[in-house]
Amino acid sequence: MLAIRSQFSNHFNYNASLVVKSPGRINLIGEHIDYNYGFVLPAAIDKFIEVAIGKRTDGAIHMVAVDLGETIIVPMHNLQPHATAWVNYIIGVVDQVFNNLASIENNLSGNENNFAKIKDDFNGGFSICIQGNIPLGAGLSSSAALECAVLFALNELYSLSLTKMQMALMAQTAEHKFAGLHCGLMDMFASLHGQKNKAILLDCDSLAFTYYPLALNDYSIVLFDTQIKHALASSEYNTRRLECEQGLKIIQEKYPTVKTFRDISLEQVEACLVSKVYQRCKYVVEEIQRVQLAVQDLAKGDMQAFGKKMFETHKGLSSLYEVSCPELDLLVAAVSNNENVLGARMMGGGFGGCTINIIKKTAVEEIAKELAAIYKKQMHKELAVYITSIEEGTHIVEGTHLVA
């Protein structure tokens, strides 16, 4: 495969101004609680999307998805959700730039001439080539990586002065509006803010965050990819969000001082809620507490205790929150009594995708082989295995720079 810069110049007959790389993410613990204003512990990984970008003057966005061999052209204005899924992650963030011109002007602190020029320039459109190695549908946030790569590139190209947090929030809204997934902030946040060998504790209420060194020593983070994505993933995701909002509202009616799930005790959940809404909210309250304890384990270097909590999270996601599936449950059950596996659980939105595992390095190969055989025998599918490293978040690829 040609480097992305060459792809760009071959396709557009001019040179890209810059190349931006944006990673996928893992999440160690804190699942389905970003949109419930809890805490999450994600990290950026060694799988990424790369974009090469350059300005245009014809008022259009020219997009090439190299891996898919597809080219799509869309006018800059009146952007609407597009029939081709990947296009939405690009035009969704462009739409967000238009919607956030006021805060961009604000960031430029009243330099009106500058702002007028930026707006003018931006209206001219841009060309973009994308390629990457994040497996699609595996729950590693390829869509967030693409949104963040594009937004970060636009921010550089047009000197928009957006902060990483502003970009994360804009990418999240783009996903809501253009992809229809009412996701939380975690994926975009992690892709943009990742640091090498560090996990990031994000407080999804205050948006404060802290980096935690991940000293795994003899252990590796291994992802087992079911290579399936059940069709109901996105609709069930949105339903879970609504069920939680419903539960929170009921509890707030009885306890008006409650602001978010963090203020809620298990006793209150027991006292106020029933059936599915009860199950969902019980999981959320437990998971919020679990993450806070898990972070203490991490700080002490007690990875045994940390791993145990990952198994507990899986149990909650599977039996209370009901976002797992037989394939994920099988992969977690198969390692649950293995002394070389500290922790395992389904990761991300669920209904397919990957499990995340902390496995003794010397045992990874054997366990992966064993699991692939079990998976093949019981589910008649191939297992994909990714041994992951924790990497830097969205950045400009060295050696590329802006042409004035």
Residue of 103, 86, 18 lying closest to 55 (CA atoms): 18
Tell whether residue 164 is a contact of ligand GLA (CB under 6 A). no
Q: Which is closer to ligand GLA, CB of 36 or CB of 127?
A: 36
How do strand 70-75 and strand 42-55 relate by DSSP bridges? unpaired
Residue of 280, 320, 388, 369 lying closest to 28 (CA atoms): 388
Q: Which is closer to ligand GLA, CB of 21 or CB of 32?
A: 32
Q: Which is closer to ligand GLA, CB of 183 or CB of 359?
A: 183
Q: Which is closer to ligand GLA, CB of 168 or CB of 272?
A: 168
- Rounded to whole angstroms, how far apart are CA atoms 77 and 79? 5
AA letter at 184 = G
Do 333 and 357 contact (CB within 8 A), yes or no? Answer: no
- Rounded to whole angstroms, how far apart are CA atoms 154 and 55? 9
Q: Which is closer to ligand GLA, CB of 34 or CB of 243?
A: 34
- Shortest distance, position 177 Cβ to ligand GLA, whole Å: 14
Q: Which positions ≥6 away from 277 have C-beta within 8 Å?
A: 243, 246, 247, 250
Q: Which is closer to ligand GLA, CB of 34 or CB of 95?
A: 34
AA letter at 288 = I
Q: How many residues sit in the footprint of ligand GLA (CB under 6 A)? A: 11
Distances (CA, A) of 324 to 33, 277, 315: 15, 17, 9
At residue 49's C-alpha, the angle toward residues 136 and 95, to 5°, is 90
95 is catalytic: no
Q: Which residues in the 135-154 window bind ligand GLA by CB under 6 A?
A: 141
Q: Position of tokens 């003899």?
A: 218
Choose which of 24, 125, 348, 393 interacts with ligand GLA (CB under 6 A).
348
Q: Position of tokens 């419903």?
A: 246
List 58, 67, 95, 187, catalytic entry? 187
- Shortest distance, position 247 Cβ to ligand GLA, whole Å: 16
Choose which of 92, 125, 349, 352 interacts with ligand GLA (CB under 6 A).
349
- Shortest distance, position 187 Cβ to ligand GLA, whole Å: 5
Do 186 and 202 contact (CB within 8 A), yes or no? Answer: yes
Q: Position of tokens 């007690």?
A: 302
Binding mask 165-204 toward ligand GLA (x if CB under 6 A, else -) reads ------------------xx-xx-----------------
Phi, psi of 244 (to 5 degrees): -65, -45
Give the up-direction half-sphere exposure of residue 111: CA atoms within 13 A in the CB hemisphere.
Answer: 12
Q: Which is closer to ligand GLA, CB of 54 or CB of 349?
A: 349
- Rounded to whole angstroms, how far apart are CA atoms 283 and 273? 13
Q: Is 224 exposed, middle or buried (0-12, 13-18, 19+ CB in 10 A)?
A: buried
Q: Which residues in the 25-64 window bind ligand GLA by CB under 6 A?
A: 31-32, 34-35
Contact positions vs ligand GLA (CB under 6 A): 31-32, 34-35, 141, 183-184, 186-187, 348-349
Query: Annotated active-site positions, please?
Result: 187
